[in-house]
C-alpha cells in the first residue's frame, strides 16, 4: 500500500511525517504527538494549509512543503486549579469583593468596540491578579497557595532540546505584552520594602511580574533620572534580557532575578549609596541582571572538555562568563535597548569596563584568587581607592550569585534541587560522550545534604564572613540564615544515615531468616521476599 507524506511545521520548525495510507488513526495521532514532543495530556491542534483546524487522521490531504500544515501543542496545564469558592472560603477570602473589584475594573477598562477579545480578557485577569499582589503583600502566601509551588521552574526533559531550550516567539510576545500592561501599575510601599530584603520569595512571581520588579529596582535607585534612562528603553532592555535567558532548571531568568534582587538588597542593607558612586551601583545591578545570559546548562569544564564553540572562541578562558558578557553588550549595542545611550562616551567606557570585570568575576574557578585579594586589602579598605572598590563590586556579585542559602529554607531548597537537576543532566551527557565527569555533579556520587554541607562550610560561610568584616550588619541578614541552613542539612544527613542503618540492619536480619528458611526449605516451599529498598 502506498505511503502518504505530510509536510507540516511545529513551533515554526518544518517537519515531515510519512505513514501508510491505511495506517490506523491512533498511530497517525501518536506520530504527530511525538513529532511535537507533546506529553500524554497535551492537546494537539492541526491546521490545514488554508488555516482551518482539521483532525489528525490517515485521511489527511497530501500537500507540498510550499503549503504546510501547522501543528500546535496546547500544554495540559494541570497545575492551575480553578479557584473553588469553598477553597477561597476556607482561606477566609471574601470572593465577592474580588468580583466587585473586577466589575469595577471592567467598567474602567472596557474597550469601546463591543465586547473585549479573549486575549484582552486573559490579560485583564493577569493584570488584576498582579494589581492585587502589588497592593497587598500579605496575600502573597494566599496567592502562593494557589500557585502550585512544585510548578516552580520549567522541567525540560533531560538533554535539553534546542526547541525547548530557547523561548518561543509566542511565549516572548505574551510575556512582553503582559509586562508592558503591568509596568504602568503602582507598587505598594510594603512591596517596595519587601523587595529590599534577602527574605524575598521569587517563586511567587511570574516572569512578567519579575520584569516589573526589576524595573522598580532601577527606579527606586533613581537610575532613570540620574542616567537619563527612558522608561521604554529600560523596558526593552529588560525584555531582551528575559528573552536571552534559557528554559533550563537553574541558570534561567528566575536565577537572574534572584541574583539581582540579592544585589539590590545588599545595596540597601549596607547603605552602599553613602560610600559608592551611583555609576558603580548601576554597574553592579546591571551586571547581576546580565551575568548568566544565554547559559545553556553546561559549565566551563564541559565547554573545555567537549571543545565547544565557546571554548574555542574564548581559548578556554572563562568561556561561559565571556559569553554572558558578550550577549549583554549585544543587547546594549542596539539603540532601543541601550539603557546607557544618553551617557557620555567616558561614562559608557567606565560602565562597560565595570560590567566586564563583574561578570567575569562570577567564574567560580577564580573564587580563591578573588577572595584572597579581597582578604589582603580588607584591613586597610579605602572607599576612595578604585582597586578596593572594584574588588568589593566583584565580591558583591559573587555573594549574590551563590546566595540562595541565605534565603528562607522554603525558598532556597527548591533552588538546590534545580541546580542538581542541571548538574546531573550535564554529568549524564558527559558519561554518554565519554568526557571527564565532575564528582560533585555525578548523580551516583552526590548526596544532597553532604554536598551542600561541604559547600556551605568551605565556600559560602568563608566568603560571607569576609564581606561581613566590612559590613557587620550582614551577620544577621545573610550569615545567620546560612548557619540555619547548615543545621538543616546536617539534620537531613543524620536522618539519611539512620535510614541507611535501619535498612542495612533489616536487610541482614532478612538474610539470616532467608538462610534459616532455605535450610528448612529443602523439605518445604519458597521463603518470604527480601524487603524492597524502594519502599523503605
Ligand atoms: C556554583 C557554581 C556553579 C553553579 F555542588 C552554581 F552539589 C553554583 F554540592 N552554586 N550556586 C549556588 C551552588 C550553589 N553550588 C552548590 N550549592 C549552592 O547552593 C553546591 C552543590 C550544588 C553541590 Cl558554586
Ligand atoms: Zn549565576
Taking only the tens place, the pLDDT of each residue in 347-356 is 999 999 999 9
Whether residue 67 lies inside any domain: the answer is yes
Per the CB < 8 A criterion, the answer to whether 241 and 165 are in contact is: no
Look at the chain and count its residues. 536
pLDDT classification of 211: cutoffs 50, 70, 90: very high
Q: Say yes or no to pLDDT of 116 above 80.
A: no
Whether residue 519 lies inside any domain: the answer is no
Crossing angle, helix 118-135 and helix 207-220, to 10 degrees? 50
Q: Say yes or no to pLDDT of 187 above 80.
A: yes
pLDDT at 97: 65
Whether residue 108 lies inside any domain: the answer is no
Distance 399 CA to ligand 1 centre (A): 12
Domain shared by 56 and 29, yes or no = yes
Counting ligands in written order, the one closest to the CA of 292 is 2
| Angstrom distance (rounded) from CA 16 to CA 118 | 33
pLDDT classification of 106: cutoffs 50, 70, 90: low
Total number of domains in the chain: 3
216-233 mean pLDDT: 98
Q: Say yes or no to pLDDT of 95 above 80.
A: no
Each residue's pLDDT tens digit, 354-393: 999 999 999 999 999 999 999 999 999 999 999 999 999 9
Domain shared by 332 and 238, yes or no = yes
The CATH number of the domain holding residue 224 is: 1.10.1300.10
Domain shared by 246 and 385, yes or no = yes
Whether residue 117 lies inside any domain: the answer is no
| Angstrom distance (rounded) from CA 426 to CA 351 | 34
Q: Say yes or no to pLDDT of 485 above 50.
A: yes
Nearest-atom index, ligand 1, CA of 405: 19
pLDDT at 43: 81
Whether residue 426 lies inside any domain: the answer is yes
pLDDT at 36: 84
Residue nearest to atom 8 of ligand 1 (CA): 402
114-128, 389-403, 430-444: range with lowest mean pLDDT: 114-128
**DSSP string across 395-412:** HHHHHHHT-GGGS-HHHH
Tell which one of 297, 321, 419 to mutate to probe ligand 1, the residue whose CB is within 8 A of the most ligand atoms: 419
Nearest-atom index, ligand 1, CA of 403: 12
Nearest-atom index, ligand 1, CA of 446: 7
335-355 mean pLDDT: 98
pLDDT at 126: 77
Nearest-atom index, ligand 1, CA of 401: 11
| Angstrom distance (rounded) from CA 143 to CA 132 | 10
Residues with CB under 5 A from ligand 2 (ion): 292, 401
3-12, 103-112, 265-274, 368-377: range with lowest mean pLDDT: 103-112
pLDDT classification of 524: cutoffs 50, 70, 90: low
Percent of the chain surpassing pLDDT 90: 65
Per the CB < 8 A criterion, the answer to whether 461 and 489 are in contact is: no
| Angstrom distance (rounded) from CA 60 to CA 6 | 8
Computed over every residue of the chain, the mean pLDDT equals 87
Nearest-atom index, ligand 1, CA of 420: 22
Residue nearest to atom 9 of ligand 1 (CA): 451
Q: Say yes or no to pLDDT of 114 above 60.
A: no
pLDDT at 190: 96
Ligand 1 site: residues with CB under 6 angstroms?
364, 402, 404-405, 416, 419-420, 440, 446, 451-452, 455
Q: Say yes or no to pLDDT of 493 above 70.
A: yes
pTM of the model: 0.72
328 or 12: which leads in pLDDT:
328
User: Which of 237, 247, 261 shows the shortest CA–CA distance to 294?
Assistant: 247
pLDDT classification of 92: cutoffs 50, 70, 90: very low
pLDDT at 152: 42
Cell of 94: 471574601
Nearest-atom index, ligand 1, CA of 412: 19
119 or 382: which leads in pLDDT:
382
pLDDT at 136: 54
Active site residues: 251
Region of 182 on the Ramachandran plot (φ > 0 left; ψ -120 to 50 alpha; else beta): alpha
Distance 68 CA to ligand 2 centre (A): 41
Q: Which of 80, 109, 140 is the last residue of a domain?
A: 80
Q: Which of 44, 61, 80 is the last residue of a domain?
A: 80
65 or 479: which leads in pLDDT:
479
Counting ligands in written order, the one closest to the CA of 291 is 2
pLDDT at 87: 39
Distance 352 CA to ligand 1 centre (A): 28
Counting ligands in written order, the one closest to the CA of 300 is 1
Domain shared by 249 and 325, yes or no = yes
424-434 mean pLDDT: 96
Domain shared by 324 and 438, yes or no = no
Q: Say yes or no to pLDDT of 525 above 80.
A: no
Domain shared by 314 and 421, yes or no = no
Residue nearest to atom 5 of ligand 1 (CA): 440
Q: Say yes or no to pLDDT of 69 above 70.
A: yes
Helix, strand, coil content of the chain in percent (nearest 5): 65, 5, 30
Distance 256 CA to ligand 2 centre (A): 7
318-331 mean pLDDT: 98
pLDDT at 80: 40
124-149 mean pLDDT: 55
185-209 mean pLDDT: 96
Domain shared by 338 and 484, yes or no = no
- Torsion, Cα of 445, 450, 454, 456 (10° steps): 130
Counting ligands in written order, the one closest to the CA of 402 is 1
Whether residue 106 lies inside any domain: the answer is no
Residue with grid cell 516552580, as numbered in its chain: 152
pLDDT at 310: 98
pLDDT at 234: 98
38-47, 467-476, 477-486: range with lowest mean pLDDT: 38-47
Nearest-atom index, ligand 1, CA of 299: 3
| Angstrom distance (rounded) from CA 415 to CA 405 | 9
pLDDT at 155: 38
The CATH number of the domain holding residue 24 is: 3.10.20
Domain shared by 386 and 423, yes or no = no
Q: Which of 80, 103, 124 is the last residue of a domain?
A: 80
Beta-sheet pairing, 3-10 with 69-74: parallel
Whether residue 59 lies inside any domain: the answer is yes
52-81 mean pLDDT: 78
| Angstrom distance (rounded) from CA 399 to CA 185 | 32
510-521 mean pLDDT: 83
Host domain of residue 15: 1-80
pLDDT at 96: 60
Residue nearest to atom 10 of ligand 1 (CA): 402
Counting ligands in written order, the one closest to the CA of 403 is 1
Tell which one of 299, 363, 402, 412 to mutate to probe ligand 1, the residue whose CB is within 8 A of the most ligand atoms: 402
Distance 300 CA to ligand 1 centre (A): 14
pLDDT at 123: 74
- Stated as kind and residue range, the H or E segment containing 464 is helix 461-470
Domain shared by 230 and 373, yes or no = yes
Whether residue 149 lies inside any domain: the answer is no
Distance 490 CA to ligand 1 centre (A): 17
Q: Say yes or no to pLDDT of 33 above 50.
A: yes
51-65, 104-118, 477-491, 495-509: range with lowest mean pLDDT: 104-118
Domain shared by 223 and 317, yes or no = yes
Q: Say yes or no to pLDDT of 235 above 60.
A: yes
Domain shared by 174 and 258, yes or no = yes
Distance 402 CA to ligand 1 centre (A): 7
Distance 289 CA to ligand 2 centre (A): 10
Domain shared by 242 and 340, yes or no = yes
Tell which one of 321, 439, 455, 493 to mutate to probe ligand 1, the residue whose CB is within 8 A of the most ligand atoms: 455
pLDDT classification of 309: cutoffs 50, 70, 90: very high
Cell of 275: 560610600
Q: Say yes or no to pLDDT of 173 above 60.
A: yes
Amino acid at each position: 500500500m502506498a505511503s502518504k507524506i505530510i509536510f507540516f511545521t511545529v513551533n515554526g520548525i518544518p517537519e515531515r511525517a510519512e505513514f501508510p495510507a491505511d495506517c490506523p488513526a491512533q498511530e497517525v495521532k501518536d506520530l504527530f504527538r511525538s513529532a511535537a514532543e507533546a506529553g500524554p495530556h497535551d492537546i494537539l491542534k492541526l491546521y490545514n494549509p488554508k488555516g482551518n483546524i482539521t483532525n489528525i487522521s490517515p485521511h489527511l490531504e497530501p500537500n507540498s512543503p510550499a503549503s504546510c500544515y501547522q501543528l500546535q501543542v496546547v500544554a495540559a496545564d494541570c497545575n492551575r486549579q480553578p479557584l473553588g469558592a469553598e477553597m477561597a472560603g476556607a482561606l477566609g477570602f471574601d470572593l465577592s469583593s474580588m468580583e466587585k473589584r473586577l466589575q469595577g475594573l471592567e467598567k474602567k477598562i472596557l474597550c469601546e468596540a463591543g465586547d473585549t477579545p479573549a486575549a484582552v480578557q486573559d490579560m485583564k485577569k493577569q493584570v488584576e491578579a498582579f494589581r492585587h499582589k502589588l497592593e497587598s503583600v500579605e496575600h502573597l502566601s494566599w496567592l502562593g497557595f494557589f500557585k502550585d509551588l512544585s510548578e516552580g521552574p520549567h522541567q525540560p526533559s533531560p538533554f535539553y532540546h534546542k526547541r525547548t531550550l530557547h523561548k518561543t516567539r509566542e511565549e516572548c510576545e505574551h510575556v512582553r505584552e503582559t509586562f508592558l500592561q503591568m509596568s504602568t501599575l503602582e507598587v505598594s510601599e510594603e512591596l517596595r520594602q519587601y523587595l529590599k530584603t534577602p527574605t524575598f520569595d521569587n517563586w511567587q512571581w511570574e516572569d512578567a511580574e519579575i520584569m516589573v520588579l526589576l524595573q522598580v529596582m532601577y527606579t527606586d535607585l533613581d537610575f532613570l533620572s540620574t542616567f537619563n534612562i527612558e522608561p521604554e528603553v529600560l523596558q526593552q532592555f529588560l525584555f531582551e534580557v528575559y528573552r536571552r535567558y534559557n528554559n533550563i532548571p537553574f541558570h534561567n531568568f528566575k536565577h537572574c532575578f534572584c541574583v539581582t534582587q540579592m544585589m539590590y538588597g545588599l545595596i540597601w542593607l549596607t547603605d552602599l549609596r553613602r560610600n559608592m558612586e551611583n555609576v558603580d551601583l548601576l554597574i553592579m545591578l546591571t551586571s547581576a541582571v546580565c551575568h548568566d545570559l544565554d547559559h545553556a546548562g553546561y559549565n566551563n569544564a564541559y565547554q573545555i572538555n567537549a571543545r565547544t564553540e565557546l571554548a574555542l572562541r574564548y581559548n578556554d578562558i572563562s568561556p561561559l562568563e565571556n559569553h554572558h558578557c558578550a550577549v549583554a553588550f549585544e543587547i546594549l549595542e542596539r539603540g532601543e535597548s541601550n539603557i546607557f545611550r544618553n551617557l557620555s562616551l567616558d561614562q559608557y567606557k567606565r560602565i562597560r569596563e565595570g560590567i566586564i570585570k563583574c561578570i567575569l568575576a562570577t567564574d567560580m574557578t577564580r573564587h580563591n584568587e578573588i577572595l584572597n585579594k579581597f582578604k589582603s586589602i580588607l584591613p586597610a579598605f579605602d572607599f576612595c581607592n578604585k582597586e578596593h572598590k572594584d574588588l568589593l563590586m566583584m565580591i558583591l556579585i559573587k555573594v549574590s550569585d551563590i546566595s540562595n542559602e541565605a534565603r528562607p529554607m522554603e525558598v532556597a531548597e527548591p533552588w538546590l534541587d534545580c541546580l542538581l537537576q542541571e548538574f546531573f543532566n550535564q554529568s549524564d551527557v558527559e558519561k554518554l560522550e565519554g568526557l571527564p565527569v565532575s564528582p560533585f555533579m555525578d548523580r551516583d556520587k552526590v548526596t544532597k545534604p553532604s554536598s551542600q554541607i561541604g559547600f556551605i562550610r568551605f565556600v559560602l560561610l568563608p566568603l560571607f564572613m569576609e564581606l561581613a568584616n566590612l559590613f557587620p550588619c550582614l551577620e544577621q541578614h545573610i550569615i545567620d540564615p546560612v548557619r540555619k541552613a547548615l543545621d538543616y542539612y546536617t539534620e537531613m544527613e543524620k536522618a539519611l544515615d539512620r535510614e541507611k542503618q535501619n535498612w542495612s540492619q533489616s536487610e541482614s536480619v532478612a538474610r539470616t531468616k532467608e538462610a534459616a528458611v532455605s535450610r528448612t526449605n529443602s523439605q518445604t516451599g519458597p521463603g518470604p521476599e527480601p524487603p524492597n529498598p524502594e519502599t523503605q
